[in-house]
């Protein structure tokens, strides 16, 4: 960290293009910038994104006259690469999408909004310094793949193709896992109509011949320390252990068969000729099916099982039925289902099965007699149909994720994290007389709230030495948590990517796609770590949370709330201590800190607080002001899109994009109320088990924290409705305008902030 003081040399560039100069008084803006905002270097152009205008900024930066370019024009979300290529620190005032495209031209309120946006941007620059790399030196670029099944094999091969060194750790003494046993695969290529050959043997051969890949059999990961670029893993083979350092981890531990009492009702394992689809695969591979003429596949509709089959068993049934009919055209194959799911290209597979004479019948199987007579309650005929003369009954099972190692004893340390709820409730407890959250009680209480799910069997896969516990977080139904709605391989442990059936039930074919995706992510993580940069979603970011320990109260909020387990307590001093490469730069710790002592060089509590003040500096006492703190990932782009669609918006909003709602500190809310804002709206991503929050827990934590603002408001004799939180998806551009405009009306009805003008 260099301690030299940074000299701010701002330059403001007011762009009049895209119709901006027709809707705003540019000279008045220039006056405001050089006057009240105290930026002496102000320039205007009809286009700063190209040609002469662009060259002007470039010259200013290259000559050293300017090191912070404040560009007022289009949204910070467009022309990003162009402006970043200029070299200096870039700040943007959004005059296009969120001003002239949403407001009437040449109106005093429109002009005021534009001026405030510029003032907020200049304030932002004044309180920002260029971020610097926080570590140097080469970190590991070796990939650890846990699991040598089809997912692991594919992951290793893909990584090797990029030149990376790979170690596969396999629990058993064989490669290939379950998929190696299948005789045929569900089709992965067009026209998706015929079962395909099993690619596993060829894949195993490729891996064996690959010099970049080392396979360790009978091995587990006994302990993992560090973070991306520097994972130290103790690998245990029998009684031997060995330390190795890895850049990233792909977790491909696969699945085990689903077993339930419900299966007993069908007589699996008891009635001769009633088998599971997994046993059927083995029979097909061994060719033990001569003499089977009438075969029934049953896909039971119990929701318990369906969680673990998720459209997989349906495709498996099609494939197996097809293999039977292909082998012997005399075979009559029935597929009995309650809910058939053949999504995507499997629709073609389903059609092809029908054409081959496979009969699909909808109904619930009531019982299977000892002579294999299957009684189906046919919903369409409204009668129970006994199907007799069946030679073989095949019953669909499911894939239970190996998100723990069931061969191990459950871990003693923090077993609660197994059922880690996505939004821990934070009860109150006191340290040094101050009320803080109990870091150990919160997860327990949330589990109680969730109805006390029993912890899963087995021990941790990687045995992570993280404050948040040894497991890669596991969410609903025992699946390893991944950001499955938007970013499927991202977990809450930076640099560790889940792939394959450990994160959701999927076919072997899908698992290979998954392996490719996760591997690319892992490689990016290793490389970014090597350059001290963040990974998704702030890929390439060099900024970094710094802790002002002089005023830190050791409250542990930051360590508890960091969604990525990046902060530990220093074992000696108990102060927060960061594991730099795990950090995603979300700022959730910053939002958590009650004394606002966590900051980034270019994003910090005081800076945004000053921006909040700047947004209402020139506000006449009779005009409302609404502060919108919008997540830069989804909500802010949705608002931009509302501009593109020219939806008229409330002109009294002052919008500040934030890295994540999790980074919003109560200081900003307090400042806003004191500075006379009449309402505050926080816009973030979906929280909860089906979260879309890019930083997993940030949005949920923000809602949790804002829940407490009500009391503050009451103590200030203000209405609770003045502060609201809403969840916005990136496509919600219509909704976001509606929400904000409704909020604006609501605030008008409540009346202006009594503190206005003080």
Residue 229 interface partner, choices ligand SF4, other proteins, none, CB cut-off 5-8 Å depending on type: none
Residue 243 CB coordination number (10 Å): 11
Taking the least distance from each CB to other proteins, the nearer of 59 and 343 is 343
3-state secondary structure 99-159: HHCCCCCCCHHHHHHHHHHHHHHHHHHHCCCCCCCCCCCCCCCEEEEECCEHHHHHHHHHH
- Nearer to other proteins (CB atom), residue 357 or residue 757: 357
Q: Report the C-alpha gap between 170 and 151 in whole angstroms.
A: 12
Which residues form the interface with ligand SF4 (CB under 6 A)? 545, 547, 552-558, 562, 564, 566-567, 576, 578, 583-589, 592-593, 595, 597-598
Tell me which residue has tokens 């977990």: 491
| Contacting positions for other proteins (CB under 8 A) | 294, 332, 334, 351, 354-355, 357-362, 378, 380-381, 385-390
Q: How far is the CB of 345 from ligand SF4 (least distance, A)?
A: 21
Residue 297 CB, shortest distance to ligand SF4, in Å, is 21
Q: Of 600 and 652, which has the nearer Cβ to ligand SF4?
A: 600
Question: Which of ligand SF4, other proteins, none sits in contact with 204, Cβ below 5 to 8 A by type?
Answer: none
CA dist., res. 495 & res. 357, Å (int): 48
Give phi and psi for 16, each to the nearest 5: -100, 0
Q: Nearer Cβ to ligand SF4, position 469 or 679?
A: 469
For residues 355 and 412, which CB has a smaller minimum distance to other proteins in the complex? 355
DSSP symbol at 385? E
Q: Which does 268 bind (CB under 5 to 8 A by kind): ligand SF4, other proteins, none?
A: none
Cα(236)–Cα(462) distance, rounded to whole angstroms? 11
Cα 90 to Cα 17, 27, 196, 606, distances in angstroms: 19, 22, 53, 19
Percentages helix, strand, coil for the chain (3-state, rounded to 5) are 35, 20, 45
Q: Report how far residue 444's alpha carbon sits from residue 447's, in angstroms, rounded to the nearest whole number.
A: 5
Question: Which of the listed partners (other proteins, ligand SF4, none) does 583 bind, with a CB threshold of 5 to 8 Å by partner kind?
Answer: ligand SF4
User: Which partner, other proteins, ligand SF4, none, binds residue 694 by CB below 5 to 8 Å per kind?
Assistant: none
What's the min distance (Å) between Cβ of 509 and ligand SF4?
29
Report the nearest approach of ligand SF4 to the CB of residue 229 (Å): 15
Q: How far apart are CA 460 and CA 470, in angstroms?
A: 6
Cα distance between residue 705 and residue 664, in whole Å: 9
| H or E segment to which residue 508 belongs | helix 508-530
Pairing of strands 576-578, 598-599: unpaired
Q: Which C-beta is closer to other proteins: that of 353 or that of 672? A: 353
Nearer to ligand SF4, 79 or 535 (CB): 535
Out of other proteins, ligand SF4, none, which partner does residue 385 contact, by CB within 5 to 8 A per kind?
A: other proteins
587 binds, among other proteins, ligand SF4, none (CB under 5 to 8 A by kind): ligand SF4
Q: How far is the CB of 315 from other proteins (least distance, A)?
A: 17
Q: Which does 305 bind (CB under 5 to 8 A by kind): ligand SF4, other proteins, none?
A: none
| SS3 of 51-102 | HHHHHHHHHHHHCCCCCEEEEEECCCCCCHHHHHCCCCEEEEEECHHHHHCC
- Shortest reach from residue 379's CB to other proteins, in Å: 10
Complete edge-to-edge strand list for the sheet that includes strand 42-45: 42-45, 10-15, 68-73, 89-94
* Residue closer to other proteins (CB basis): 212 or 342: 342
CB of 360 to other proteins, least distance (A): 8
Q: Which does 506 bind (CB under 5 to 8 A by kind): ligand SF4, other proteins, none?
A: none
| Residue 659 CB, nearest approach to ligand SF4 (Å) | 8
Nearer to other proteins, 276 or 342 (CB): 342
Q: Peptide bond before 331: cis, by omega within 30 degrees of 0?
A: no
Q: Which of other proteins, ligand SF4, none has residue 380 at its interface (CB below 5 to 8 Å by kind)? A: other proteins
Residue 381 contact among other proteins, ligand SF4, none, beta carbon within 5 to 8 Å by kind:
other proteins
Given the complex with other proteins, which of 284 and 295 has the nearer CB atom?
Answer: 295
| Nearest-approach distance from CB 294 to other proteins, in angstroms | 6
H helix runs in 213-362, sequence order = 261-264, 277-286, 303-306, 312-327, 346-355
Write down the least CB distance from residue 332 to other proteins, Å: 5
722 neighbors 749 (Cβ within 8 angstroms) = no
Q: How far apart are CA 239 and CA 243, in angstroms?
A: 13
- Rounded to a whole number of angstroms, the minimum distance from the CB of residue 139 to ligand SF4 is 17
- Which one, 370 or 388, has the nearer CB to other proteins? 388
Q: Which is nearer to ligand SF4, 122 or 599 (CB)?
A: 599
Angle among Cα 447, 452, 455 to the nearest 5 degrees reads 90
Distance CA(389)–CA(371), nearest Å, equals 8
Taking the least distance from each CB to ligand SF4, the nearer of 603 and 677 is 603
Name which of ligand SF4, other proteins, none residue 357 binds, using a CB cut-off of 5 to 8 Å depending on partner kind: other proteins
Q: How far is the CB of 300 from other proteins (least distance, A)?
A: 19
Q: Could you give the 3-state DSSP secondary structure of residue 45?
A: strand
* Helices assigned H by DSSP within 645-697: 666-674
Sequence-distant (≥ 6) Cβ neighbours of residue 354 within 8 angstroms: 360
**Cα–Cα distance measured from residue 723 to residue 619, given in angstroms and rounded to the nearest whole number:** 20
> What does 136 interact with, of ligand SF4, other proteins, none (CB < 5 to 8 A by kind)?
none
Query: From the CB of 583, what's the least distance to ligand SF4, in Å?
Result: 3
């Amino acid at each position: 960290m260099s301690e030299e003081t940074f000299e701010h040399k701002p330059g403001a560039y007011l762009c009049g293009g895209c119709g901006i100069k027709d809707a705003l008084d540019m000279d008045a803006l220039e006056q405001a910038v050089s006057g009240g905002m105290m930026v002496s270097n102000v320039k205007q152009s009809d286009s700063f994104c190209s040609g002469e205008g662009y060259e002007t900024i470039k010259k200013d930066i290259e000559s050293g006259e300017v090191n912070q370019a404040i560009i007022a024009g289009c949204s910070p979300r467009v022309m990003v690469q162009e402006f970043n290529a200029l070299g200096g620190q870039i700040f943007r005032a959004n005059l296009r999408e969120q001003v002239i495209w949403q407001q009437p031209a040449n109106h005093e309120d429109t002009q005021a909004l534009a001026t405030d946006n510029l003032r907020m941007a200049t304030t932002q620059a004044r309180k920002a310094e260029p971020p610097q790399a926080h570590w140097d030196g080469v970190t590991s670029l070796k990939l650890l793949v846990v699991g040598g099944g089809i997912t692991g094999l594919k992951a290793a091969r893909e990584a090797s193709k990029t030149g990376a060194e790979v170690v596969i750790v396999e629990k058993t003494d064989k490669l290939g896992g379950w998929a190696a046993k299948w005789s045929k695969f569900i089709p992965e290529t067009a026209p998706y109509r015929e079962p395909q050959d099993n690619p596993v043997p060829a894949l195993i051969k490729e891996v064996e011949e690959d010099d970049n890949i080392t396979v360790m059999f009978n091995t587990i990961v006994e302990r993992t320390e560090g973070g991306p670029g520097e994972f130290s893993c103790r690998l245990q083979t029998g009684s031997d252990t060995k330390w190795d350092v890895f850049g990233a981890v792909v977790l491909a531990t696969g699945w085990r068969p689903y077993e339930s009492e419900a299966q007993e009702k069908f007589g699996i394992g008891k009635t001769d000729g009633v088998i599971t689809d997994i046993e059927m695969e083995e029979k097909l591979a061994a060719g033990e099916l001569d003499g089977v003429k009438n075969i029934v596949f049953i896909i039971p509709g119990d929701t318990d099982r369906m969680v673990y089959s998720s459209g997989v068993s349906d495709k498996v049934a099609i494939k197996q039925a097809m293999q039977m009919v292909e082998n012997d055209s005399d075979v009559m194959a029935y597929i009995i289902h309650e809910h058939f799911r053949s999504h995507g290209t499997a629709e073609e597979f389903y059609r092809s099965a029908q054409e081959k004479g496979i009969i699909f019948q909808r109904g619930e199987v009531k019982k299977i007699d000892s002579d294999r007579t299957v009684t189906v309650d046919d919903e369409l005929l409204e009668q129970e149909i006994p199907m007799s003369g069946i030679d073989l009954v095949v019953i669909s099972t499911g894939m239970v994720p190996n998100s723990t190692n069931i061969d191990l004893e459950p871990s003693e340390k923090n077993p609660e994290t197994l059922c880690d709820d996505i939004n821990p409730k934070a009860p109150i407890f006191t340290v040094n007389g101050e009320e803080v959250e109990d870091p150990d009680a919160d997860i327990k209480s949330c589990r109680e709230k969730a109805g006390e799910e029993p912890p899963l069997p087995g021990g941790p896969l990687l045995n992570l030495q993280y404050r948040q516990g040894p497991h890669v977080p596991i969410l609903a139904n025992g699946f390893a948590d991944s950001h499955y709605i938007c970013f499927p391989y991202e977990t809450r442990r930076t640099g560790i990517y889940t792939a394959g059936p450990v994160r959701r039930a999927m076919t072997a074919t899908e698992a290979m796609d998954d392996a490719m995706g996760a591997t690319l992510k892992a490689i990016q993580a290793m490389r970014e770590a090597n350059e001290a940069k963040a990974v998704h979603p702030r890929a390439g970011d060099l900024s970094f949370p710094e802790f002002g320990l002089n005023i830190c109260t050791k409250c542990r909020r930051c360590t508890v709330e960091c969604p990525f387990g990046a902060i530990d307590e220093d074992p000696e001093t108990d102060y927060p201590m960061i594991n730099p490469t795990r950090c995603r730069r979300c700022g959730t710790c910053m939002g958590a800190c009650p004394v606002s002592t966590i900051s980034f060089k270019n994003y910090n509590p005081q800076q945004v607080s000053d921006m909040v003040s700047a947004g209402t500096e020139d506000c006449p006492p009779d005009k409302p002001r609404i502060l919108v703190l919008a997540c830069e990932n989804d909500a802010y782009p949705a608002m931009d899109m509302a501009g593109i669609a020219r939806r008229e918006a409330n002109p009294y909003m002052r919008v500040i994009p934030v890295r994540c709602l999790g980074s919003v500190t109560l200081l900003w809310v307090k400042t806003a109320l004191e500075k006379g804002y009449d309402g505050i709206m926080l816009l973030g991503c979906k929280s909860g088990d089906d979260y879309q929050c890019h930083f997993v827990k940030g949005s949920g934590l923000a809602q949790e924290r804002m829940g407490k603002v009500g009391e503050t408001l009451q103590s200030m004799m203000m209405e609770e409705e003045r502060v609201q939180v809403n969840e916005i998806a990136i496509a919600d551009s219509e909704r976001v305008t509606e929400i904000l405009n409704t909020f604006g009306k609501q605030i008008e009805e409540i009346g202006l902030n009594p503190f206005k003008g003080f």
